[in-house]
Amino acid sequence: MQMQCLLQETSRRLRELDGDLARRKAEEIVLHVLGCSRSELLLHPRKTLSRLDTEAVAGIVERRLAGMPPAYALGAVYFYNREFAVSPDVLIPRPETEVLVDLVLQDETSEDALFLDMGTGSGCIAGTLLAARSRWRAVAIDRSRAALGVAARNLGARAMLLRADCADALRPSRAFDFITANLPYVSCGEMASLDASVRNFEPHAALDGGKDGLDLYRRFLPCCAGLLRPGGRLYCEIGETQEQGIRELFAALAPDFDLGCLVVHRDLCGRPRVVRAATHHT
Ligand SMILES: C[S@@+](CC[C@H](N)C(=O)[O-])C[C@H]1O[C@@H](n2cnc3c(N)ncnc32)[C@H](O)[C@@H]1O
């Protein structure tokens, strides 16, 4: 089939779902499958596409029409300007998580660093940090074997992948310069009111944080001081209603963390998004 025919056919099929954006969405799909630029697409409207490519485009459209989120339908998503492979085994990386990445890149100034990424999922946090700092190395941990399969596609040789539970993943070693964690933090009440595309397609094990959403952090935070070097920092993503709850969890860990250094960072709308804590220097 010719490129222009495929684009027309794809936009027509997406019209009901994407309305005026159908043509743009069709282009995104075709560009993704062909791995070419938009200008190539516009310059060669009569190019004949292989059956394999035409079928791949049709498959993505089928999945979109079945209600699958675009990132899963394509098998890829952009996070911090980089493309990451995703599948329904991992949470789709969210723009909110870019706040955490920004903060780490601003605060961690060593050229060499070893960090732990807990609940790595697609590996979007570790992968972005490793791409930005050529001498950093990471240990990326997740409890889900399937998620680690996706992370392996996104992370190179400077990341070591480990399947483990956050509360007993590693022996205390004080080896890590910093820790990033985006563990599930959606409360039971919020789980019920999630958007249908999230509830029906995204892995519940990547979302469900128990009664108040803080179950996983309640188990993980007490392990962190034993993993961090003296003065090492921990960056955790939280939900917008959890500032008070997470402060209380850290207050109970006062002998390990320097509470004077605890900072809650907000997104552009002023919602709490990331907590940064540091261990004592000695
Ligand atoms: C909110 S997702 C975050 C994924 C990715 N880091 C991101 O920012 O998009 C949470 C991840 O934690 C993992 N997870 C859930 N419970 C865990 C546990 N007890 N120990 C380790 N990882 C866990 C899930 O499999 C999921 O990949």
pLDDT tens column, 190-216: 998 999 989 999 999 999 999 999 999
pLDDT tens track for 80-89: 999 999 999 9
Percent pLDDT > 70 in the chain is: 100
pLDDT tens track for 125-141: 999 999 999 999 999 99
120 CA → ligand 1 middle, Å = 6
HSE toward the beta carbon, residue 225, CA cutoff 13 A: 16
Q: What is the mean pLDDT of residues 267-282?
A: 93
For the chain, residues classed under CATH 1.10.8 are 3-66
pLDDT at residue number 2 = 87
182 CA → ligand 1 middle, Å = 6
Q: Is the pLDDT of residue 46 over 90?
A: no
pLDDT at residue number 65 = 94
**Homologous superfamily in CATH for domain 88-278:** Vaccinia Virus protein VP39 (3.40.50.150)
Q: Is the pLDDT of residue 164 over 90?
A: yes
Q: What is the mean pLDDT of residues 236-245?
A: 97
The pTM for the full model equals 0.94
What's the longest Cα–Cα distance across the chain? 69
For the chain, residues classed under CATH 3.40.50.150 are 88-278
Cα distances (angstroms) measured from residue 145 to each of 43, 55, 138: 43, 30, 18
User: 281: pLDDT confidence band, cut at 50, 70 and 90?
Assistant: confident
User: 272: pLDDT confidence band, cut at 50, 70 and 90?
Assistant: very high
For a pocket test of ligand 1, which of 166, 215, 236 has the largest count of ligand atoms closer than 8 A to its C-beta?
166
Q: Is the pLDDT of residue 247 over 90?
A: yes
Helix (H) or strand (E) holding 251: helix 243-251
pLDDT at residue number 44 = 86
Ligand 1 near 124 CB (within 6 A): yes
CB count, 10 Å around CB of 39? 8
pLDDT at residue number 116 = 98
Mean pLDDT (the chain, rounded): 95
CA 259, distance to chain mean position in Å, is 28
Ligand 1 near 99 CB (within 6 A): no
Ligand 1 near 144 CB (within 6 A): yes
Query: How many whole angstroms separate alpha carbon 129 and alpha carbon 37?
Result: 26
Q: Which CATH architecture has domain 3-66?
A: Orthogonal Bundle (1.10)
